[in-house]
Structure 1
Amino acid sequence: MITVGLAGWGDHDTIYPSGTAAKDKLKKYAAQFAIVEMDSSFYAVQPPERMARYAGETPDGFGFVVKAYQGMTGHLRGKPYYESDDEMYGAFRDSLAPLREAGKLTAALFQYPPWFDCTKENVRLLRETKRRMEDFPCVLEFRHQSWYAPEFREKTLAFMRDEGWSHSVCDEPQAGSGSIPIVPEATSEDFTLVRFHGRNIGGWNQSGNANWREVRYLYDYAEDELEEWQTILAGLSEQSASVGVIFNNNSGGHAAGNAKRFMSMLGLTVYEPPVEETPEQLDLFNL
């Protein structure tokens, strides 16, 4: 089974009628896509009651990929919010519990930064993280090329299988050591995640600039690029019972359109919200 969705549900203006309130967007999103990546959890662990509300606002069969809090993946800058790792992981597990109980937790996504390279210490950290997340489905995404270097690639994949990590297979710019190649290998029979980050090579390594968020994921996939992925997804679907696809290329608002185009190419049902009709103005002088 393949499901396609977007990173976040709040910023994709083209899929909502104008004037849609923020509180109503998740319901309208879930009428169009069967999976979503929750990014707000990266910046702050979400309260369990909020996650329970999200579960209640979505239909049966809908799935959340919840991005791990930045304090768990080495992204955090400044003073930690939590006094200990035990407290931090405990809060994250509590946050995920309502989604899991509702059958709507697809996975927790642990995306590590470009400086998290393939070392014994980082392998140890991954083992410890997976131990702390026992009984929760987890996806692992790297941003440092060393994990897939020829001498480490098969060992990395074998490690993920042994430790119970699902693989996040990425489409992203090939822009040096802080980017990874497409590695179309599943490490779990249950689930594989595919994330489309775009191919904006010039904007990928601009995190030091004030407008980096505006350019990093600025990309509009061409049809032939999506066609390449049809073949890749067919292979991944033979390796995993479920494959989730997330379009994260929304700096220019392209994610939703690309996702729906890809759904159509895959033969999935594409729902389009009704077109709003502009009220006809009365001509006072033509009665």
Structure 2
Amino acid sequence: MQKREIDSSFYAVQPVKNYAKWVDQTPDGFSFIVKAYQGMTGHLRGKKNYFETQEEMFKAFHTSIQPVISGGKLAMALFQYPPWFDCTRENVEILHETKEMMLDVPCALEFRNSSWYSPEFRDKTLQLMEREDWIHTVVDEPQAGSGTVPIVAVATSPETTLVRMHGRNVSGWHQNSHPDWRKLRYLYRYSTEELQEWRDRLLQLEKSSKNVYVVFNNNSGGDATDNAKELQGMLGIDDDGTAPRQLDLF
């Protein structure tokens, strides 16, 4: 199944017409991973939120993604929380409330703070996700302090697991003040040996989760496509011819 992660939805709740167009322009079997709006994950930190209440904000997001749902092309909504969202009682309650407000929409959870996977909280974090039917987002990213998380290749949903390959560019990860920080952060090409390690992890995850989605970050070096194709080859996945058309859609 071909898929696309929509990042623009993080910066603004997208108009319904945008999703309707994307659904119409993509072939059968295509699915979308829609990133939750930044106001829904606590990223704004003083920046203007155009919604007066949480209820209004979540309602707007639900409305916006309806074409994807009705078209049968929503893989999940991705809730990526910021590095300052640590493992506290207050933040656990936020996760409870968020899951309730998302109703029956499948939701993936990605942390950017290592405390969730500390020896003290790791098992409780995974149990929380399993109990509340969060899709676990397994990440590969630079190990650069508390604002990053380790590889925890565990499925919490029998239906779906998301894997996000952020690269291992430690020096570029915290270059937020650099004008081209987005280009620097994900500038990384996985080696064949690293991809072989991931092949083995994915085959294990597949035993616990029906669908395992793998997404490589686009970067200025054009590494995502080459890495994805190499990993596909290792897994024996054939290209169905959809990928070349995807490049022209967005």
Q: Same fold (TM over 0.5)?
A: yes
1:131 aligns with 2:100: yes
Report what 1:23 is aligned to: none
How many residues were matched structurally? 242
Secondary structure of the structure 1 residue equivalent to 2:65: helix
Does the aligned pair in 2 maintain the 1:198–1:249 contact within 8 Å?
no
Shift of 1:50: 1.5
Q: For residue 51 of structure 1, what is the aligned residue in structure 2?
A: 19
What SS class does the counterpart of residue 239 from structure 1 fall into?
coil
Correspondences of 1:163-202 after superposition (within 5 Å) = 163-202=132-171
Q: Which amino acid aligns with 2:150?
A: P
- Residue in 1 aligned with 2:204? 235
Alignment of 1:1-287 (within 5 A): 34-77=2-45, 78-270=47-239, 271=241
Larger radius of gyration: 1
Q: Distance in 2 between matches of 1:265 and 1:149?
A: 32
For residue 61 of structure 1, give the secondary structure of its aligned residue in structure 2: coil
In 2, distance between residues paired with 1:263 and 1:54? 25
CA contact 1:214–1:251 (8 Å) conserved in 2: yes
| 1:208 shift after superposition | 2.9
The letter for the 2-side match of 1:49 is K
Q: Could you tell me how far 1:85 is from its partner in structure 2?
A: 1.0
1:86 Cα deviation after fit: 0.9
Mark the runs of 5 or more structure 1 residues left unpaired by the alignment. 4-33, 275-287
Give the Cα–Cα distance (whole angstroms) in 2 for the partners of residues 170 and 62 of structure 1: 23
Q: Distance in 1 between matches of 2:13 and 2:221?
A: 27
> What do the CA deviations read for 1:244-273 (whole angstroms, capped 9, x no partner)?
000015132211111112112211113475
Code of the residue aligned with 2:8 in structure 1: it is S
Displacement of 1:36 after TM fit?
Answer: 1.1
Between 1 and 2, higher relative CO (CA 8 Å, sep ≥ 6) is seen in 1
Check the 8 A contact 1:218/1:250 in 2, yes or no.
yes
Q: Give me the whole-angstrom Cα distance separating, in 2, the residues matched to 1:145 and 1:210.
A: 27
Greater mean alpha carbon deviation, residues 177-186 or residues 53-62: 53-62
Query: Is the CA contact (8 Å cut-off) linking 1:38 and 1:65 kept in structure 2?
Result: yes
SS of the residue corresponding to residue 258 of structure 1 reads helix
Deviations 1:121-172 (A, max 9, x none): 0000011000000110000000000000001000000000111100000010
Normalized against structure 2, the TM-score is what? 0.93
Q: In 2, distance between residues paired with 1:141 and 1:39?
A: 14
Which whole-Å deviations, capped at 9, do the CAs of 1:70-103 have from their partners, x for residues lacking one?
A: 0111112511111111111001011111111111
TM-score by length of 1: 0.82
Alignment deviations for residues 6-54 of structure 1 (CA, whole Å, 9 cap, x no partner): xxxxxxxxxxxxxxxxxxxxxxxxxxxx011100100111111211111
* Paired AA for residue 163 in structure 2: V
Amino acid at match of 1:40: S
- RMSD of aligned C-alpha atoms? 1.4
Percent of residue pairs identical: 57
